Chains A and B, each alone.
Chain A
Amino acid sequence: MTDPQQGHETGSASDAGKIEIRLENLAKRFPGVSEPAVDDLTMEIPKGEIVILVGPSGCGKTTTMKMINRIIEPTSGRIVLDGEDVTKVNPDQLRRRIGYVIQQIGLFPHQTIADNIATVPRLLGWSKERTSERVDELLEMVSMDPGRYRKRYPKELSGGQRQRVGVARAMSADPDVMLMDEPFGAIDPITRDRLQNEFLRLQEQIKKTIIFVTHDIDEAIKMGDRIAILREQSHIAQFDTPERILVNPADDFVADFIGRGASLKRLSLSRVRDVELHDWPTTQEGASPEEIRRLLDGSDKSAVLVLDEQRRPLRWVNAEHLSRSGNGRGLDDVGLPAEAVVQPNATLSDTLNEMITARYSTAIVVDSSNAYQGIVDIDTINETVRSMRRAERGRLRGDDAADTDFDDEDD
């Protein structure tokens, strides 16, 4: 895949709905333990999707994942990768085809970043030039300057940078499948959020098939195209899209696991660009008080939003401000700064968060050049939650072609 963009487009057209990995009756018994760790698991993982294995600790999710690259050998059952039974092939050869990222990252501390990333290409016998080019390409892909970081050692990097190198190393030989075991688990919340977003953006281009293990349901909802909620011994409680799991938990176990606030969680699945924006009276900077008064009189809102020449939000001005601006004082000095500004790609849950603290209970929506687009208020969010629920319920009732619908939902 020399041009990832190209590869993605042709790939997604022909691969839609294809099964990349099939686990058939997979089981693992550890010696000396009466209960199996994983008991008769069968599941299909579609190509190009992020499938999350989530469940309480000890449910067997990590064991399940490690059986796919046979770090843990299954006791019985089959693993079929891209149509090929890999249950008995040489495990080292198999692992070179599957990217692997663990929570501790496990970078080799005695090797430079470049050497770390070059691990699999070297095992595969790539030429020096090809390996070196690939290292640079990958470092750029994870937003690290090759010139600056190639020769550094892991201990010289921050936690977030190490995590990026871990992802780059796992992708070095361009595997179709990646296994990620709590890859963002050991990182502070702010960096984690940024890395998750970066990773989702990257995945849009590379469209890998990813098995992602976490115990954090919020991370599962954010990252997953599909989520498998597992109970003990890797029994699947529910395997579905995040939307459907949130709207229609299969049983009490799933409902408990999602926890309270399922509606709130659902808000992180929709973005501002998906909802209809409302209008708000606006005016240009330098407008006269009379003009603003006229706008206020003609609207049910109690304030006017003042924009600058590039239509960027500046201030809120209400009637009280106008009266104070008499006596020759310009409008430039009055009003309240326009806060709670969001872009179309913000999630509704972030937007709601902004809104709660904002004046007039609204969030101002701007485009990528910060020009005013409209506003989102609490009614918009309320309506969105209800319509999502209606849509999901309707789909669950009268749905005969479930698979085709996944693509619409998956954004």
Chain B
Amino acid sequence: MDDGWFSSFVTYLEFSYEDLIQLAIEHALIVVISVFIATVIGVGLGVATYRTDRPRELVLAVTGTFLTIPSLALFTLLIQVPLLGLGAPSVVVALVMYGLLPIVRNTIVGLREVDPAIVESAQGMGMGRAARLWRIELPLAWPVVLTGVRVATLLLIGIAAIGAYINGPGLGEPIFGASIGSAAALNDVLSGTLGVIVLAILFDLVYVAVFKLTIPKGIR
């Protein structure tokens, strides 16, 4: 690769950066929506099962299995499902499925790691089950839960690119749209890939701020 290739890429960016930003926003949006849904479901499943052995193992096994399905296969399967079809809805469902394991796992680990003496003293002071969960256990487990959400986010940023395979939005579009062998193919793939990486870094910076803002001072 020589200077010719590099200047060609710069020229490419000059012409298409508006499109790329548009795609990055779509990409970020679909990831945020999926992570949000996965967090609601994942934390819910974790809270519901962390104290019981069998259901906990079942939930971890099922969400673990989701993660082993090859993404192309899952996307292809989902477009067969009525109401989903080609496009964003199928992509969101797939991303939620992939995002569950790290979130459920960390919710369970975080809740189980809370010092039993702290929970017992809360109980001994007359805090009911719900109050203990909301005011004591979840805040104390939060750093671990949030780490799970962060891992899920990074995972989904990568997988979301493949969503373009079934007409999903985002930075996968230039990657899958590139016609192999054409002059612009390298530029297309490179811009999509770099976009995904830049997006991942930006998300991680956001998480640094979220950690700072939402983790109580006493346990930082």
Contacts and interface: CB of A to CB of B under 8 A. Distances in A.
A79 B19 CA distance: 74
A154 B121 CA distance: 14
Interface residues of A, number: 31
B125 A108 contact: no
Interface string A146-174: 00000001110000000000100110000
Interface of A: 69, 71, 91-96, 98, 100, 102-112, 119-120, 123, 153-155, 166, 169-170, 179
B218 interface: yes
B125 A119 contact: yes
B122 interface: yes
Given A109-B140, A110-B140, A112-B218, A95 B118 contact: no
B144 to A, nearest CB: 13
Nearest to A93: B126
B217 A120 contact: no
Contacts of B126: 91-96, 120, 123
B125 A109 contact: no
B182 to A, nearest CB: 57
B125 A120 contact: yes
Given A95-B123, A100-B125, A106-B118, 15 more contacts: A91-B126, A94-B126, A95-B124, A96-B125, A98-B124, A107-B121, A108-B122, A110-B139, A110-B216, A111-B218, A112-B218, A119-B122, A119-B125, A120-B125, A169-B125
B202 interface: no
Contact of B120 (A71, A96, A107, A119): A71
Q: How large is the interface on B (under 10, 10 to 19, 20 to 34, 35 or more residues)?
A: 20 to 34
B18 interface: no
Interface string B134-167: 0010011000000000000000000000000000
A109 B121 contact: no
Interface-central residue, A92, A96, A108, A119, by most chain B CB under 10 Å = A108
A94 B217 CA distance: 32
Given A102-B117, A102-B121, A104-B115, A109 B128 contact: no
Nearest to A106: B121
B219 interface: yes
B127 interface: yes
Interface of B: 115, 117-128, 131, 136, 139-140, 216-219
A108 B127 contact: no
Contacts of A95: 123-126
Given A112-B218, A153-B217, A105 B140 contact: no
A155 B218 CA distance: 7
A91 to B, nearest CB: 8
A154 B136 CA distance: 14
Contacts of B115: 104, 106
B217 to A, nearest CB: 6
Interface-central residue, B122, B126, B139, B219, by most chain A CB under 10 Å = B126
A170 B126 CA distance: 11
B134 to A, nearest CB: 12
Contacts of B216: 110-111
Contacts of B139: 110
Contacts of B122: 106, 108, 119
Contacts of B120: 71, 102, 106
A100 B126 CA distance: 10
A107 B125 CA distance: 11
A110 B127 CA distance: 16
Contacts of B121: 100, 102, 105-107, 166
A111 B218 CA distance: 6
A300 to B, nearest CB: 60
Nearest to A169: B125
Nearest to B119: A106
Contacts of A170: 125
A18 to B, nearest CB: 25
